[in-house]
Structure 1
Amino acid sequence: MSAPPLSVVVPAFNEEGNVLALLDEIVAALRGVTPFEVIFVDDHSRDGTRAALQSALAQVPELRVLGHERQSGQSTAIRTGVKAARGEWIATLDGDGQNDPADLPKLLAARDAGAADVKLYAGWRVNRQDTGSKKWASRWANAIRSRLLHDATPDTGCGTKLFERAAFLDLPYFDHMHRYLPALMQRAGWKTVSVPVNHRPRGAGASKYTNLGRALVGIRDLMGVAWLIKRSRLTGVRELE
């Protein structure tokens, strides 16, 4: 079987009530648009997430399911999926169903119309369907991140993204790195583009993050990413003949 040009990677932790509906939506959005595979990475869920996904393997030929042997976090789950992916380009969606798979063709169209040095198309949630406190915390975090990293990205927390697999795997890996992909891609010498996308209320289950917990981790990560950017050195390379 030839490798598909697109791999959709979905990290999931305790999302039993969301994953099958999300899978159906991904398939509906992409069949007839481009060959693809869907890789769900179960981050050692304690509910029926893994069993639900396994039950769909026989019905959805594009589906692959990977399971972590211990809970390792969203960034690790994304990286697990990207490393296993066969596609040259990777699309990501959060496993809670708040990202709309119908936006994936829009990101693919933006890539097809974009420049060769754009390696990341990042979703921009223009109509957030979250609680007031979560939206306020996100605006605060985005403002601080933008001032410190100068990544010219209005929304780095959106799970809807499209990026080149090779460019992603060349980035430094650390926990929570998925929240800093625009800055990390730019640090590597690539360009990034933000694309307005839909955002939906969570269908089932509860959020795995709290505003305080995310803020405490975010401050430390911001300082680390700022240090990486400051210490970066880029140069062109020419082979002599």
Structure 2
Amino acid sequence: MAAVSMISEGRPPVRLSVVVPVFNEADNVLPLLDEIERALAPVGGFEVIFVDDQSDDDTQVRLAPAVASGRLRVLRHRNRSGQSAAVRSGVKAARGEWVVTLDGDGQNDPADIPALFALVSAGQAGAPVLVGGIRKRRQDSLSKRLASRFANAVRQAFLQDGCTDSGCGLKLFRRDAFLDLPFFGAIHRFLPALFRAYGHPVAYVPVNHRPRERGVSKYSNWRRGLIGVVDLLGVYWLKRRTTRSAIIEDL
């Protein structure tokens, strides 16, 4: 898997990078970009990176003018690689100290980002290294809500990470801490547990959740559930085998 940037270097420094993985979301990408820019205008010093996981619709065509105008950076995978790989590609390319991720379907609300960023931007001792969104009044089908509730209960029983909604795509974290984690294909659903296993403070914030207005979901409950069982066991093993060490003195 590889990603190719569509924009040159030379931009001013930023502190916050917004990473949005997308696959066949042509009707959502520009409205979402507009919302991100409005939400973060008061914050300043941010960049937006869309990672296209080999869309075969008009996603690239829709994004091209925003790239040309400098509003946006776009990465495109050469092969279909999945959401976690898209998140990692975006984080590796990000120039901000902090990264916030959100889904490309428009259901996460960019207006929630400043509240997450406020928890970490003050730089106080003990501040969280990851802030996860907890979706209020989820606007999904009943079957999806029930499947998610069951999956979160099982995951919590194994991992005990204190997160009741690890599937929420809206998360903010420190870039270097994320890149220090071992990578695997479903890491985006287990970030709270992994950050805690690596000794990082974690916090959760209630966030808005909206119905999907355009496009169709790319996931099925059965497919996600079957894969999730294997992933959960792997993360449980990894959590038990992780040891934390700290450099006392750099000689």
Considering the TM-score relative to the shorter chain, is it more than 0.5? yes
Please tell me the root mean square deviation across aligned C-alpha atoms, in Å.
Answer: 1.3
C-alpha distance in 2 between matches for 1:80 and 1:2: 21
Kept in 2, the 8 Å contact 1:36–1:62? The answer is no
Report if aligned partners of 2:39, 2:110 keep a CA contact under 8 Å in 1. Answer: yes
Q: Do the aligned partners of 1:117 and 1:190 also contact (CA within 8 Å) in 2?
A: no
1:63 aligns with 2:72: yes
Please report the TM-score for the alignment, with normalisation by the length of structure 2.
Answer: 0.92
Describe the shift of the 1:115–1:94 C-alpha distance in structure 2 as closer, same or farther (beyond 3 A): farther
1:20-68 alpha-carbon deviations (Å, 9 max, x no partner):
0000000011113121000000000010011111122234x33101111
Q: Report how far residue 237 of structure 1 moved.
A: 2.4
Alignment-derived partner of residue 91 in structure 2: 82
Aligned residue in 2 for 1:104: 113
Look up the equivalent residue of 2:225 and give its one-letter code. A
Q: Name the residue aligned to 1:161.
A: 171
**Aligned 8 A contact 2:120 2:127 in 1:** no
Deviates more, 1:226-235 or 1:79-88: 226-235
Post-superposition CA distance 1:47-105 (Å, at most 9, x none)? 0011111122234x331011111110000000000000000000111000000000011
Say which SS state the counterpart of residue 133 (structure 2) adopts. Answer: strand
Q: Which amino acid aligns with 2:116?
A: L
Aligned to 2:17: 7
Q: Which amino acid aligns with 1:79?
A: R
Identity rate, percent? 56
Q: C-alpha distance in 1, partners of 2:125/2:48? A: 26
Residue 26 in 1 paired to residue 42 in 2? Answer: no
- Kindly state the Cα deviation for residue 127 of structure 1 after the two structures are TM-superposed: 1.2
1:188 to 175, 198, 210: 198
Gaps of 5+ in 1: none
Question: How many residues of Structure 1 are paired with residues of Structure 2 in the alignment?
Answer: 240
Seen in structure 2, the aligned counterparts of structure 1 residues 76 and 53 have a Cα distance that, compared at 3 Å, is same
Tell me, which stretches of 5 or more residues in structure 2 are unaligned?
A: 1-10
Task: Report the AA paired with residue 36 of structure 1.
Answer: F
Report if aligned partners of 1:89, 1:164 keep a CA contact under 8 Å in 2. yes
Paired residue secondary structure (2:35): helix
Q: Give the structure 1 partner of residue 207 of structure 2.
A: 197
> Deviation at 1:235?
2.6
Q: Normalising by the residue count of structure 1, what TM-score does the alignment of the two structures yield?
A: 0.96
- Could you tell me how far 1:240 is from its partner in structure 2? 6.7
- Whether contact under 8 Å (2:126, 2:201) holds in the other structure is no
Question: After superposition, what is the alpha-carbon deviation per residue over 1:143-176, rounded to whole angstroms, capped at 9, x for unaligned?
Answer: 0000100101111000111000000000010001
What residue is the counterpart of 2:241 in the other structure? 231
Distance apart, 1:117 and its partner CA: 5.0
Distance 2:245 2:53 in 1: 38
Structure 2 residue 78 is matched with structure 1 residue 93: no
State the secondary structure of the residue aligned to 1:40. Answer: strand
Q: Give 1:177's aligned amino acid.
A: I
Aligned with 1:200: secondary structure? coil
> Structure 1 stretches (4+) deviating beyond 6 angstroms?
none
Query: Separation in 2 of the partners of 1:240 and 1:51?
Result: 50
